[in-house]
Amino acid sequence: MPFVVTRVSTIAEIALPTIEFALHETFSRVPEARFEVVGVVAHNVEHVMPQLRVMAGDISAVERAFMDDDTVTDATLLTRLKDRGLFSMGWDRSVHRILSLIAMDDTAVLTAQASNGEWTFRIQCTNREILSRLYESCHDADVPLEVQNVQERTTMVDDPHELTQQQHETLRSAMKRGYYEIPRKVTTTDLAEELGVSHQAVSERLRRGHRSLVETGLSLSRQ
């Protein structure tokens, strides 16, 4: 009989003014526009917001505004249907810096959208401590993040030692790059640069991943 446990995670809605993050200039040109990130990628800061769905009366006006928006490095119109357009986006480093605070380790960005001059993110953290750490990191970096709603979600899992996507990616990169060889071919700093996350995030992923694998091995050895 499989070992089933409950896992509790924290779901939060956080808000950030566009002037402190992205598309403030675009909103000043087209204030009625609404934006929704498509295909959110949580484990790679460089591609957290790869595509943007735009809803506006004049998509061409939004496209022109993108060209003059300092937070946008590239905006390619992929599809267009009346008052909706889908863009492939490239973002300035200032946007990536804030995303690195929001999409920290053990945090998944579920949705991201913007309207009325404000960005709203729905994120999932492994626990409230991670959410508190995220808020404190933003506060220390002078990023005026506002937590609007917090809920707890309970799920049933068959394997309590299952690796998270971030842990699996980090362990795989460590193995591939020779982190476990003697002597080591790469450091945690090298892995952090490759994955686009902080040195601390890599260290935590490796430590938590190693613990999950050891716990799984010990569980199997008792069967």
Q: Is the peptide bond before 183 cis (omega within 30 degrees of 0)?
A: yes
Residues 150 and 180 in one domain: no
End position of a domain, from candidates 100, 131, 156: 156
Structure letter (DSSP) for residue 47? G
Cα–Cα–Cα angle for 85, 89, 90, rounded to 5 degrees: 160
Three-state SS for 161?
Answer: coil
Instruction: Kindly state whether residues 71 and 141 are assigned to the same domain.
Output: yes
| Residue 21 counted as domain residue | yes
Question: 136-167: string of b/e by CB count within 10 Å (b at 16+)?
Answer: ebbeeeebebeeeeeeeeeeeeeeebebbebb
**pTM for the full predicted model:** 0.66
* 122 and 207 fall within a common domain: no
For 207, the domain range is 161-221
In tens, the pLDDT along 137-189 reads 999 999 999 998 888 776 554 454 567 778 888 888 888 888 888 888 889 88
In this prediction, residue 62 carries a pLDDT of 96
Name the band, by pLDDT with cuts 50, 70 and 90, for residue 105: low
| Total domains present in the chain | 2
The SS3 of residue 74 is strand
Residue 193 belongs to a domain: yes
Is residue 105 located within the same domain as residue 192? no
Is 56 within 8 Å of 81 (Cβ atoms)?
no
Sign of CA pseudo-dihedral 66, 67, 72, 75: positive
With a cut of 50, say whether residue 3 has pLDDT above it. no
Q: CA 117 to CA 30: how far, in whole Å?
A: 10
Examine the fold and report which residue of 99, 128, 156 is the final residue of a domain before the chain moves on: 156
